[in-house]
Amino acid sequence: MKNQSVLHLILAFGMGMFLISSAQADNPVIQTRYTADPAPVVINGKVYLYTDHDEPHATWFVMKDWRLYTSSDMVNWTDKGSPLSLKTFKWAQKDAWAPQVIERHGKFYCYAPMTQKGVGMSIGVAVADKPEGPFHDALGHALVHVSPLDIDPTVFIDKDGQAYLYWGNSQLYYVELNKDMISYNQHVGIVKVPLTAEGFGKRPGNNPRFTLYVEGPWFYRRGNLYYMVYAAGGIPEFIAYSTSPGPTGPWTYRGIIMPNHLPQLAFTNHPGVLDYKGHSYFFYHDQALPGGSGFDRSVCIEEFKYNPDGSFPTILPTKQGPAPVGHFNPYKTTPAATIAWETGIQTETSPTVGVYASCNQNGGYIKVESVDFGLQGPKSISARVSSTSEGTSIEIHLDSVDGPLAGTINVPNTGALSQWSAVQSPVSGIKGIHDVYFVFKGVSDSQGINFLSWKFSK
């Protein structure tokens, strides 16, 4: 562990970077709604980020559905809507809390905690044929229940094919899942992990919760080492981790990954860890969005490198987030709900066309980062839009919201916001790699624009 003076230096440097980079913010990675408890997974070469969803202005964890976002470059995230909600589980009463999804045998399994009436929190499982859903309840009842603190499931399939489900607040439990992923080995049963100081660190004083472990476990293997990353220490929570030579222990406490010293962090946290395209990423949530609080949280990402011995470095929250791991292709039809950063934008879901972006704030914008137009560059852009007003438009700017103007999409009055029109507009002066800003003009609370998709053409 680093000494106290070095830690202070690291924190000061992190705050300095936070101030320097605030003008180029890409954290939190989702800005259109409050999201928490990130659960990333790589499927078919793309990152699928499952989250839960804090209802705004709540004074408790009011959460009714789960959300999904996808990315191939770690900076531009496409809103895929809600693949499941409390309505998916007829036995659930409330509390759509931290999920995790895993693939097996061509099916996708979502494990999530919910409150069932008269019992408290329990872990359910839903299944889908596609990672985007829709998911349906696999059992019609909870998969596991031990106590009212059955929350935060984490699932992992080991190299021998055995799947494990860990979960729990204040206590840590696991089961060995059967190959069907919707039942568990009844001979082994539900195992309570011994929370020892050697395994999970010790709290100072005579705290009744003896170890640092609190909740939010994230379980995975890297090489021959098994990792349990978790929210720790009490309120406010920091992120710590333990490692083991095997999937069920014995565990050794390894230290703190993300301390909770900076004001943008919430009083809770929940980790997710992912390797993608040769890079390692740490997912967490904070309260940095406008109106944010401990009950209105937002998912963030930091890139990091493991130490040579496999240990974690200290990871501090930043506003800039990770760098892109690829360039965005503008010559394919792209959902307008693909966003690196936005101001004044909402995303909505239509049963006929899916997820779209909407803007009622003049000067609101969508940024798409690191777009590669090539040496030739495009001549036009096509878009699907709707509006009930005259004189609205979407300007295309390069590299900043007031950067060079490359073209303007004039949005017609389509008669209804649910009536979409395909429009095409010329563009010029675009070559090479740029951040693209779609800036909404002439809009207001009474006259907005809905934006479904876009595509540049050479």
DSSP secondary structure string for all residues of 3-53: -HHHHHHHHHHHHHHHHHTGGG---SS--SS-EEEEEEEEETTEEEEEEEE
pTM above 0.85, yes or no: yes
Residue 153 CA to residue 101 CA, distance in Å, equals: 10
Helix (H, G, I), strand (E, B) or coil at 86: helix
Spacing of C-alpha 145 from chain mean position: 26
Average pLDDT over residues 427-454: 95
Per residue in 294-307, pLDDT (tens digit) is: 999 999 999 999 99
Write down the pLDDT at residue 204: 86
Average pLDDT over residues 322-330: 97
Average pLDDT over residues 317-337: 97
Amino acid at 123: I
Q: Average per-residue pLDDT in the chain?
A: 93
**Token match 């840590």: residue?**
172
Asked whether 240 and 232 are in contact (CB, 8 A), the reply is: yes
Domain ranges of the chain: 4-304, 334-457
Asked whether 38 and 51 are in contact (CB, 8 A), the reply is: yes
What is the CATH topology of the domain spanning 4-304?
A: Tachylectin-2; Chain A (2.115.10)
Residue 381 CA to residue 371 CA, distance in Å, equals: 14
* 22, pLDDT greater than 70: no
Q: What would the DSSP string read from start to end of 195-235?
A: --HHHH-B-STT-SS-BSEEEEEEEEEETTEEEEEEEESSS
CA angle 439–441–447, rounded 5-degree value? 125
Q: State the burial class of residue 380 (Cβ atoms within 10 Å of its Cβ: 0-12, 13-18, 19+).
A: middle
Write down the pLDDT at residue 445: 87
Write down the pLDDT at residue 362: 96
Average pLDDT over residues 306-321: 96
Helices (runs of H) and strands (runs of E) counted in the chain? 2, 33
Give, rounded to a whole angstrom, the gap between the first and last alpha carbons of the chain: 55
Write down the pLDDT at residue 435: 98
Nearest Cα neighbor of 212 from 249, 247, 259, 244 is 259
Beta bridge partners of 176: 164
Residue 77 CA to residue 65 CA, distance in Å, equals: 19
Residue 24 CA to residue 168 CA, distance in Å, equals: 37
Joined together, the tokens standing for residue 330 give 């503008």
Q: How many CB atoms lie under 10 A from the CB of residue 184?
A: 20
* 58, pLDDT greater than 60: yes
Helix (H, G, I), strand (E, B) or coil at 371: strand
Joined together, the tokens standing for residue 355 give 């997820």
Average pLDDT over residues 78-99: 98
Helix (H, G, I), strand (E, B) or coil at 161: coil
208 compared with 358, residue with greater pLDDT: 358
DSSP state of 447: S
DSSP state of 237: P
80 sits in the region (left: phi over 0; alpha: psi -120 to 50; else beta) called alpha
Write down the pLDDT at residue 209: 80
What is the CATH topology of the domain spanning 334-457?
A: Jelly Rolls (2.60.120)
Residue 161 CA to residue 314 CA, distance in Å, equals: 32
Write down the pLDDT at residue 24: 54
Phi, psi of 7 (to 5 degrees): -60, -40
Write down the pLDDT at residue 446: 83
Sheet containing 238-244, strands listed edge to edge, beginning at the edge strand earlier in sequence? 213-222, 225-232, 238-244, 252-258
